[in-house]
Amino acid sequence: MPTSYTPLDLEIQEFSDYDLIIDARSPREFSHDHLPGAKNYPVVNDNEYAQVGTLHRHDTHKAYLIGVTHSLRNMATWIEEISDRCGPRSKILVYCFRGGKRSKLWADNLRTIGFKVDLLRGGWKAYRRWVIGGLELTPRLFDFKVLEGPTGSGKTRLLKALNEAGAQVLDLEALALHRGSLIGALPGMAQPSQKDFDSQLLATLRAMDPSKPIFIEAESKKIGNVQLPEALMEAMQNGSMIRITAPMEERLKVWREDFAHFEADPMALLQKLEHLRPMVGNSAVNHWHELASQQQIVKVFEELMVLHYDPAYERSNRRVYEGWNDLPTLEVKSLNHEHLIEVAKALISKHISEG
């Protein structure tokens, strides 16, 4: 592991060293957050978990009786699949909410079969504390090269080109499943929970090499509904800023690709733009409605960038990033993939030589 931040204060190895990590919690708990790479083999399902929890308040003995009955039945359905996945020498890590009865049920049975099994002491609760601590420390280990530029200037595409060209890249919007603006929700895709996002972010950072720079896109404190850790925001603000600009015609191409769903359904866009009336004024929003009714949605995109996104982005960065006014500008003439690969290679060469 390249960082100095160890998994947990436990007698276990790196999570990635295990052949199988079993999350013994209910599917609902698992969906909110889980260890990287964990597989959900619930001791009890959501309904059974609620049933046992309700009964436990009135009759502990009966609750345990029903809980164990459910557990044995459920584990029997998973055991063949686990045996197919794991050989006699496989290492398995098991955890539940607090490292109690549910994980112990799995561990005892798997050990009886002959598997080497570790229990995560403290369970998911201990893991969650570790994630919070890790996100306070780990971002500070890295040198960030921050791509700054107006909406639609191709920063996300440039990140992908940088990754393809061999650079270390942290794509926060990909982790957040959101493009990071009022209209940035991805069609048909829900964002991860805050806890799940935190887990993915820490796992991604821990897989990176602190001796090499990380290219990242400038972001506000929130991407959609998820919030970035303070330590990451500070590390980004202390990093090297790279301002990106692109011609408006290129930016409009990007918008038409990224927001094709709004071009197909202008009313969905206009409903979101209603929130901008206090910022851009009624006349601007009314004009966008008129343009949309005339099927001029590309013109709406352009005016939205010029009247709202560009000035808002500039105000935000002047406030957050010291020396923003003096940043040198890299003009990207085309946002097609081939040109961005060339830009990426030049950036890598420049920043590795500086490092």
Residue 54 burial (CB count, 10 A): 10
DSSP string spanning 266-279? HHHHHHHHGGGHHH
Tokens of 99: 């490292």
Which listed residue (24, 92, 96, 304) is catalytic? 96
Tell me how far CA of residue 62 lies from CA of 47, 98, 151, in angstroms: 16, 21, 59
Could you confirm whether 96 is annotated as catalytic? yes
> Cα–chain-centroid distance for residue 156?
14
Nearest of 185, 2, 155, 28 to residue 97 by alpha carbon: 28
**Number of alpha carbons in the 13 Å side-chain half-sphere of residue 46:** 6
What b/e readout covers 243-263, taking b as 16+ CB neighbours within 10 angstroms? Answer: bbbbeeebbbbbbeebbeebb
What b/e readout covers 331-353, taking b as 16+ CB neighbours within 10 angstroms? Answer: ebebbeeeebbebbbebbeebee
Query: Residue 73's beta-bridge partner residues?
Result: none
What 3-state DSSP class applies to 233? helix
What residues are annotated to the active site?
Answer: 96
